[in-house]
Structure 1
Amino acid sequence: MPTNLEIVSPEKLLLSRPVDMAVIPASEGDMGVLEGHAPMIVMLRGGTIDLYEGDRVIDRLFVDGGFAEVTPERCTVLANHAIPLAEVNKADAERRLAEAEAAYEEADKSDVAVEDAALDAVQSARAMVEAAG
């Protein structure tokens, strides 16, 4: 029996569909989610979510970070942006990386929260460039 995957942004439900497995970019590393998974909440880093039917990837989406709530029946991803991988543009991703790196250089490094947020933006943009490549 498949697990239900939902991807939600602050504005709306972006995707809701049953999948055999979802591989999400958890902050500690890629994590496969199958039906019956132990409940947990994990932070996400920028990266791709792979949706599986059987043993093949049927869809890929880029997320810029966020959280995922996993239950035995469902995986709910809360992300500011989720983009089908086919729509990720390399030039836009490289521009985003340049902007994030510039913002990191300007960030107040004495404020840990500000520095961490700026570094997260750089890492997400790098992941987007890699996904576009």
Structure 2
Amino acid sequence: MAENTFILEVITPEEILLREEVQFVVVPETQGELGVLKNHAPMIAALNIGVLRYTDAAGEVKKVAISGGFMEVIYNEARVLAETAEKGSEIDVLRAQEALKRAKRRLEQRDESIDFARAQKALQRAIARLKAADAYNE
């Protein structure tokens, strides 16, 4: 392992999405964003829907859309346990744009049968996916 790197793992119920040496990671924590470097103090944090950004060992910035979860940092390993996670480079942008349109339409309706909390989360997930894919321009 390089001198200034640590291990980042992103795990969902379905798979280990990534396990990489990284220089830096920023996660969407419930109170804002949280950054982690090598030798960070041990901690556990709750995560929101949003974009996890990290700088890999080669210095390239990469993004992952996550739908909430938790992060544990201990012994130079940051482990993200996410409800869902998708690498920005693998996101189907057209599908994410359609999800964004559907969520906006639901939120604009003033129908009592609409679950607004669920529609709001769908909107947040679609925005996170588009941001991770560098395709959000609103």
Distance change >3 Å, CA 102–CA 71, structure 1 → 2: farther
Equivalences for residues 72-87 of structure 1 within 5 A = 72-87=75-90
Partner of 1:53: 57
* SS class of match (2:96): helix
Equivalences for residues 31-42 of structure 1 within 5 A = 31-38=34-41, 39-42=43-46
Contact 2:53/2:61 (CA < 8 Å) preserved in 1? no
Output the CA distance in 1 between the equivalents of 2:13 and 2:23.
26
Partner of 1:5: 8
For the pair 1:92 / 2:95, whether they are aligned, the reply is yes
Counterpart residue identity of residue 124, structure 2:
Q
For the pair 1:120 / 2:121, whether they are aligned, the reply is yes
Quote the offset at 1:74 in angstroms. Answer: 1.4
RMSD: 2.4
Distance change >3 Å, CA 29–CA 59, structure 1 → 2: same
Distance change >3 Å, CA 92–CA 3, structure 1 → 2: same
* Structure 1 runs, 4 residues or longer, greater than 4 Å off: 102-105
In the comparison of the two structures, how many residue pairs are matched? 125
Partner of 2:69: 66
Unaligned ranges ≥5, structure 2: none
Output the CA distance in 2 between the equivalents of 1:96 and 1:5.
29
Output the CA distance in 1 between the equivalents of 2:28 and 2:55.
12
Quote the offset at 1:45 in angstroms. Answer: 2.1
* SS class of match (1:46): strand
Which is helix-richer, 1 or 2?
1
* SS class of match (1:62): strand
Contact 1:25/1:49 (CA < 8 Å) preserved in 2? no
